[in-house]
A and B are shown apart, each in its own frame.
Chain A
Amino acid sequence: MDFGFTPEQEALRRDVQAFIAENLTPEVLAEMDGLSEGFGVRPGRARGGHVEKLFAKIGARGWLGISYPKEYGGRDGDRISQYIVEEEFARADIAVGLGGSGGPAILAAGTEEQKRHFVPKLISGEYSFALGFTEPHAGADLASLQCRAVRDGDEYVINGQKMYTSAAHVATHMYLMARTNPNVPKHRGISIFLFPMDTPGVTVRPLWTIQNDPRAPIGTTYGTPRTNETFFDDVRIPASALLGRENEGWKVGAMGLNLDRVGAARYLISVRRDEDIVNFTKSTRFDGYSPAQDPAIRDKIAELWIEAQVCRLMTMRSMSIVEHGGNFTYEGSAEKVWAPEHGVRTTEAIAQMLGPYGQLLNGSPAAVERGVFAHNLMGSFQSGINHGSVQVMHDQVARRGLDMPRS
């Protein structure tokens, strides 16, 4: 066991911190605020001139895709270094982390051509994926999905509907899970396809969430103002769009999803909130009342801080396993139980500390921190629902971690 960082990793952290201090000018921040979509501003999505330049600079430093292989645009670096970059930028509302459904899945299952085509551009931000998993009648039981892909010569023809394709309006490509064989047990007839969002027959319709009116301010860490439903009507894509082998998409998808739902990506959602609650409390007074001196609040803040440490350490565990080249047995699912439930406890506790101020939304007179706490309260429970619900994750911990029987 080693709970420290190497001198090189510490130096990298200081470099990133110095970069942020130097480059997050008021003009950049003003532009970022208008671009907020939840989870911070990402490369490769709607961006203005200042943010675009900022991402180009970050890329020039070599900080995107550190842990990816050199031949595909990465730096052959370690996962912890990549994490340090992601963590420091997350504190500045800039999301530089790359999910598992994308680069890692393509590296694990893609053809050489797919790797060369996609991975460098995913790292640079030129490409990004919308994830097409959930359907109107397939959520927790994802493998029962109905969206069809039928082989026709050198093409597949896609028909169906996906729900909660959150990035569909800004992504360049679709990462689609579809049924290629309806005549076998449900897990064995699924495939994954990668294709451009502007392929004819793809229609994206917005679904506005409870965080859209008023729009959640930048700094909101949970949830998103907008998601989408995406329709596929006779969408014809080349057979080369298939990722991995036909009908073996469940395994590829599960691997990518596991990496989406654990590790840095999961933890970084809450890291700012966990720090903010302490820093906000210690610096805030309401007339003569100082929450930091309230014994009940002090006890609760310490309790949440301990929970946050457990989130951090579970993330370090996930990355340690990845660094050793291992696979999660239950650790990823455990993290996906603990972190979302902690997020809910945190946001609900802040609400009880703020009392009536906790209800004020972005733009309201007297709102604290632009209403970010109220907006988070509308989003934190969502992280216990998306990417595999806390209840499903509990099942997985029991069955994979403790070998408990199926009912």
Chain B
Amino acid sequence: MDTTLTEEEAMIRQSARRFLEAECNTRLVREMEKDPKGYPPELWRKAAELGWQGLALPEAYGGSDMPLVYLGLVLEEVGRALAPLPLHSTVVAALTLAAEGTEAQRAAVLPRTAAGETVLTFACYEQDPRLTLSGVQARAVADGDSFVLNGIKRFVDNFAAADFCLVACRTADATPGSDGLSLLLVDTRSEGISDNPLVTLAKDRQSEVTFRNVRVPKTNLVGTLHQAAPAIERMLDRATALLCAQMLGAARKDMEMAVEWAKYRKAFGQPIGAFQSLQHMAADMLIWIDGGNLLTYEALWKMDQGLPAAVEVSQAKAFCNEKCEAVVRYGQIIHGGIGFMQEFDLQLWFRRVTSWTMRFGTAYEHRARIARALLDVPGRVVLGQPLPTAG
């Protein structure tokens, strides 16, 4: 048990911070809010030179085989800088391919991903705002050597920039012993796809994607036919925990800006940061971010060990959703009027963190999942020990 960073962990974080401080200022962040693809290819290539896309991918496919905890540290810095990179969606899809894909699929996609030549994404959400697999209605029907995919996916990250999209779809009705879901690796340039960009709080690139009779080769089935629910859940858990890291990095930077402002801005003849009412707000911001960090890295660490981590992921996201939102709201309050002026940078952090609190499960959903694990399985619960499991 040691919650402090190892030397190597501290180095990874430090080098990511230095790189983004040099390469990504808020002028770039603002530019990319208006860019159709939403990211600068040059920066994407430089990130690949640092090995970010392949950080947690197997060495055999050009990756570095590092733990998810390291990827979390990098995404924390990406969040801190609001770096407009499609890193989160790319690594989440790539990790799923690495874990569930065939040899041919991995060989075709992962080395190019690690080299920064490919952008990836994944599509689960449809109409249902919840992160639930019961919401998956898109249907793929076998026809010769392909599947024919029909359906509408929403809140798909970076679709315009992506070369491939992992699509969760229904290939059969659910029956006992079979969830009827499958995961397809879809070439985003396939015929029958239309991309309808959403206008979001974060001004990031999310899409509503319509698949109309899109033919996907059967060789692009990732994992087991009609049995993809566990693989999709693992993918969403990784996505959720890594987004927490990104959110926390951004929220911490927001707090630091608020504290700096409070030391600089004067009222009644002294810096407003000398007033205890503000100090106590700032102290809460720090405590909440630290709490979120501890929960998030415990979840990532458990995944790295191959331990069950669903409850830990939900703990982190439910907490981060509410506390990171409160942090950036406090950041705005401490800044007063200037904080919500368009030309003042603070709002860039506020809008993104706020948007991220709504992605990959609301606080209510995640708490419902925790409550199921705590209350619906017989046996005593013990803090710090694995929860009782069914059967």
Contact = CB atoms under 8 A, between A and B. Distances in A.
A116 interface: no
Nearest to B285: A402
B383 A80 contact: no
Interface string A103-122: 00000000000000000000
Interface string B269-300: 01101111011101110110011001101100
Contacts of A1: 2-6, 9, 69, 297, 301
A271 B383 contact: yes
Interface in A1-19: 1-5, 9
A9 to B, nearest CB: 8
A394 B5 CA distance: 25
A309 B381 contact: no
Interface stretch (A169-177, A248-256, A310-318, A367-375): A310-318
A397 interface: yes
Interface in A291-327: 292, 298-299, 301-303, 305-306, 308-310, 312-314, 316-317, 319-321, 323-324
B298 A313 contact: yes
Contacts of B282: 398, 402, 404
A298 B298 contact: no
Contact of B1 (A271, A299, A319, A331): A319
A292 B319 contact: no
A404 B367 contact: no
A334 B282 CA distance: 12
B374 A305 contact: yes
Nearest to A391: B280
A279 B1 contact: no
B370 interface: yes
Contacts of B284: 337, 394
B302 interface: yes
A298 B371 contact: yes
B305 A4 contact: yes
Interface residues of B, number: 52
A313 to B, nearest CB: 4
B32 interface: no
A335 B48 CA distance: 39
Contacts of B297: 1, 3
Given A313-B3, A320-B1, A323-B2, A404 B371 contact: no
Contacts of B305: 4
Nearest to B367: A302
A323 B280 CA distance: 29
Contacts of B298: 3, 309, 313
B13 to A, nearest CB: 11
A275 B270 CA distance: 46
B364 interface: yes
B383 A301 contact: no
Contacts of B315: 305-306, 309
A312 B381 CA distance: 15
A369 to B, nearest CB: 15
Nearest to B315: A306
Given A303-B367, A398-B283, A313 B294 contact: yes
A9 B2 CA distance: 13
Interface string B10-23: 00000000000000
B384 interface: yes
A399 interface: yes
B286 to A, nearest CB: 5
B9 A313 contact: no
A191 to B, nearest CB: 30
A4 B303 CA distance: 12
Nearest to A267: B383
B318 interface: yes
Contact of B283 (A87, A321, A337): A337
A4 B371 CA distance: 24
A334 B368 CA distance: 28
B279 A394 contact: yes
B368 A3 contact: no
A274 interface: yes
A282 interface: yes
Interface string B178-191: 00000000000000
B263 interface: yes
B204 to A, nearest CB: 27
A308 B367 contact: no
Contacts of A80: 1
A402 B283 contact: yes
A182 interface: no
A402 B375 contact: no
B4 A292 contact: no
B104 interface: no
A302 B273 contact: no
B382 A275 contact: yes
B110 interface: no
B27 interface: no
Contacts of B276: 394-395, 407
B162 interface: no
A274 B374 contact: no
Contacts of A2: 1-2, 301
Interface in A354-407: 391, 394-395, 397-399, 401-407
B262 interface: yes
B245 interface: no
A317 B263 contact: no
A14 to B, nearest CB: 12
Contact of A401 (B286, B291, B376): B286
A301 B3 contact: no
Given A5-B1, A302-B368, A397-B283, A310 B291 contact: yes
A324 B3 CA distance: 11
Interface in A143-189: none
A5 B386 CA distance: 13
A301 B367 CA distance: 8
Contacts of A320: 1-4
A310 B318 CA distance: 12
B259 interface: yes
B68 to A, nearest CB: 11
Contact of A4 (B1, B4, B280, B375): B1
Nearest to A330: B286
Interface in B350-391: 364, 366-368, 370-371, 374-376, 378, 380-384
B346 to A, nearest CB: 17
A309 B381 CA distance: 13
Given A3-B301, A404-B274, 16 more contacts: A3-B1, A3-B3, A4-B1, A271-B383, A282-B374, A302-B367, A303-B318, A306-B367, A308-B383, A313-B295, A317-B3, A317-B294, A395-B276, A402-B286, A404-B278, A404-B279
20 contacts: A1-B2, A1-B69, A1-B297, A292-B375, A298-B367, A298-B368, A299-B371, A306-B295, A306-B318, A306-B319, A313-B291, A314-B291, A316-B294, A317-B294, A334-B286, A391-B280, A395-B276, A398-B283, A403-B259, A407-B276
Cβ-closest 7 pairs across A and B:
A398-B279, A302-B367, A313-B294, A397-B283, A298-B371, A302-B370, A310-B291
